Amino acid sequence: MKIARVTGSLTATVKDSQLTGTVLLVADIEDADGNVLEKSVVAADSCSAGPGDLVLLSTGSAARLPAAMAGKPVDLTIVAIIENLTIPTNRSSARRVAKPVAKKTVSKKKTSARRIK
């Protein structure tokens, strides 16, 4: 799975008939700090994401597992809209579960959080 930010949509009037009714969105794959790793990938949308949303992408054959994508010729599907992302800032705390923090701050336990939207 990968994290991405939706940047736009794609319209194709001529396409495989199995893609009829499938919403296709353009997204930039990001790392945990929001740095773009891969620009402008096209993903099928299974959860009504929109521009600016931070989403979770499923790739390869797993992209066809959501019910809305069953049997469709896709290899990248948006499977979740991310509301909160918490990343440990050092390796020693990486095994501990960090509680989500509402603001973009660093707590005393050296855990940073990024509030989405």
pLDDT tens string 60-100: 888 887 877 878 888 999 999 999 888 877 655 444 444 44
- The answer for residues whose C-beta is within 8 angstroms of residue 111's C-beta and 6 or more apart is 86, 87, 88, 89, 93, 98, 99, 101
The three-class DSSP label of residue 106 is strand
Give 102's pLDDT tier (boundaries 50, 70, 90).
very low
Q: What percentage of residues in the chain have a pLDDT greater than 70?
A: 76
Tokens representing residue 107 in the block: 């707590």
Contact present, 18 and 72 (Cβ < 8 Å): yes
Residue 25 corresponds to which amino acid? L
Residue 112 corresponds to which amino acid? S
Give 34's DSSP letter.
S
Q: Report pLDDT for 109.
A: 47
Higher pLDDT, 32 or 23: 23
Q: Report pLDDT for 47.
A: 92
Q: What is the mean pLDDT of the chain?
A: 80
Average pLDDT over residues 1-12: 95
Q: Which one is the CATH code of 2-82: 1.10.4080.10, 1.20.1090.10, 3.40.50.880, 2.40.50.220?
A: 2.40.50.220
The three-class DSSP label of residue 67 is helix
Q: What percentage of residues in the chain have a pLDDT greater than 90?
A: 48
pLDDT at 53 over 50: yes
| Per-domain residue ranges of the chain | 2-82, 85-115
Q: Residue 42 is inside which H or E element, if any?
A: strand 36-45
